[in-house]
Amino acid sequence: MQRFVDVVLSLLLTAASFVLSWPFWRDFEYWAESPTAWRIYFVLGFILGAYVFYVFIGSLRMLFQHARDDAAAEAEAERQALDAEGQP
C-alpha cells in the first residue's frame, strides 16, 4: 500500500510540474519548431520526473525512519541506564 501511495503521489507531483512547464502558460515563447520533438520531450520528462519524485519520497521516508530508530535507541539506552542506577 505504501508503494502505491508513493507512486500516486509521484504521478500527481509530476503532473503538477508538467502543467507548470507547459508552453501555453508562457505564451508559447519556447515552443519548438517540431511538435513531435515537444511530445518526446514531455513524455521523457514526465517519466524521469515521476522516477525522481518516487526516489525522493522513498529517501525521505528512509531518513525519517532512521531518525525514529535513533530516537528509540537513545530512549532505550537512557531507560536501561536509569534501571541500572536503581539496582544495588
Model confidence over 53-76: pLDDT tens digits? 999 999 999 999 998 998 888 888
pLDDT at residue 81 greater than cutoff 80: yes
Model confidence over 21-56: pLDDT tens digits? 776 666 656 666 777 887 888 899 889 999 999 999
pLDDT confidence of residue 29: 63
The one-letter amino acid code at 56 reads F
pLDDT confidence of residue 80: 86
Written as nine digits, the cell of 25 is 502558460
Q: Rg for the chain (alpha carbons), in Å?
A: 23
Q: Tell me if 56 sits within 8 A of 17, measured CB to CB.
A: no
Q: Tell me if 61 sits within 8 A of 67, measured CB to CB.
A: no
